Every structure is written in C-alpha cells, then in structure tokens.
Amino acid sequence: MTWLLALCAVTLGAALQRVTGLGFTLISGPLLVLVLNPFDGIVLANILSGIIAAIVLIRTLRHVQWRTAAKLSIGTVVGVPIGAAVVYALDADMLLILVGALTTIAVVIALTRRPMPVFRGTPGAIFAGSLSGFSNVTAGVGGPALAMFGAATKMPMSTFVPTIQVVALLTNALSVAAKPHMSLPWPLVIGAVCCVLVGLVAGSFLQRVITPTRAQTLALTLALLGSLAATARGIFALFV
C-alpha cells in the first residue's frame, strides 16, 4: 500500500508538471516523504526529477544559454554541500519538519511572481543557484528559486526552460551523490520511473480537458496540503 501511494504521487506529479510547468518535486516530494521517510523520499524525488530534466533537455538542447547555466551551476555547487550537511545533522523528525516548511515556502514563492532585484546579474544567478541547490538536497524543491531568477531577469520561456534543465540535471545528480547511504528498493525505483513516463503522457491528454490555471491551482493545493501534513507529522512525532 505504501508503494502504491508513492507511485500514485509520482504519476500525479509528472502529469501536473506536464500541464503547468511546476516543479515535479514540489508536488510529489511531500507525498513521497510521507509514504517513505524524509531521507529516502527526497532521494527518490531527486532521481526522478533528474530523469525529467534529462528528457526535457534532450528535446530543447539547442536553446540552452550556457553562460547563464554556468553561473547558476556555480551557486548549485555551493548550495548542495551545505544542504547535505544540514540533512545529516538533523534527526528524522526535524528533517520532516524542515521538508514541510521549505515546501510551504516554495509554494508561497510560486504564487509570488513579482520580480526581485536580488536575483539579477551574476551575483543574483549564483545566489539563485545556491538557494536552489540547498533546498533541492534538503527538501527536493529547487525550482522556485530558479523561477524567481527567471522572473527577475525576464528570460523568455524558450530559453529559460532548457537552461534550467541543465541546472536541474546537475543539481539532482549532486543531491543524489551527496546521500550515498540511501536505501531505495530497486523495484520501487523502476516502478517510479515508469510512472514518470506514464504521468508525462497522461499530462499531454490532461492539457486538453483542464486549463493551465485550474491545473496550477490543483498542483499548488496538493503541494501545500502535502507540505503541511509533513510538517504536522514531524511536529507530532517530535513531541509525542
């Protein structure tokens, strides 16, 4: 039953990502954490998010802005080790609270589309990459910081999407490498990869029957409910 819930979360996250463009782990991460555990749930989310980034990048490689990707990646290389140190310093309950809190903040950021000057220029790119790397390895939600960078720099979507996939691929690879003590059963991993593919295909059909606005509302609602549930579970386990 636990595996079934995890696979449903993965399928739904991939489908809604196909419709709305929202981060896959923003939607599925909290649910994976609830049905697995804070450590392995985020590792699985990182693996699957990296696969999605690779699929998108293959189709959009020629539109990548490599200089921008390099600046963001510098920040990622800084942020991931710091986040990994935090992960290993916290116990399971505190890590669960951190995952829930960061995801909640990420949802709020996703709802706030006002450009922020702090994300502009080379320092802004490095700062965004650092935030993305830190939040990705700790909670699997590296996308919102990159989205804020895109909004601040007014990058066109035609170049923003492929450029961000380069960063996402690197970030998720580093995030997985930073957690060598993972204990994921291979049947679950293989099943989850298949569910990602099914979800992406389902999302293509879902686009025809639901507007992006409604799909985005559904995605953010699920992400918020999942993050609040994770936070509540961590607090309950900590004090009971």
In degrees and rounded to multiples of 5, residue 144 shows phi and psi of -55, -40
CB 80 within 8 A of CB 174: yes
pLDDT of residue 84: 92
CB 176 within 8 A of CB 137: no
pLDDT in tens, 117-161: 888 899 999 999 999 999 888 888 787 788 888 888 888 878 888
pLDDT of residue 112: 67
pTM equals 0.84
- Contacts of residues 51-60 at CB distance under 8 Å and 24 or more positions apart, as own/partner, are 51/193, 51/196, 52/14, 52/17, 52/24, 52/196, 52/200, 53/165, 53/168, 53/169, 53/172, 54/165, 54/169, 55/200, 56/161, 56/162, 56/165, 57/162, 57/165, 57/166, 57/169, 60/161, 60/162, 60/165
Sign of CA pseudo-dihedral 50, 54, 55, 56: positive
Q: State the residue for tokens 């979800």.
A: 199
CB 175 within 8 A of CB 141: no
Query: Which residue, 197, 122, 107, is CA-closest to 153?
Result: 122
Residue predicted with more confidence, 101 or 22: 101
Strands (E), 128-207: none
Rounded Cα gap, residues 216 and 154, in angstroms:
21
Confidence check: pLDDT of 21 > 70: no
pLDDT in tens, 196-232: 999 888 888 887 887 766 776 777 777 777 777 777 8
Query: Which residue, 87, 47, 30, 55, is CA-closest to 171?
Result: 47
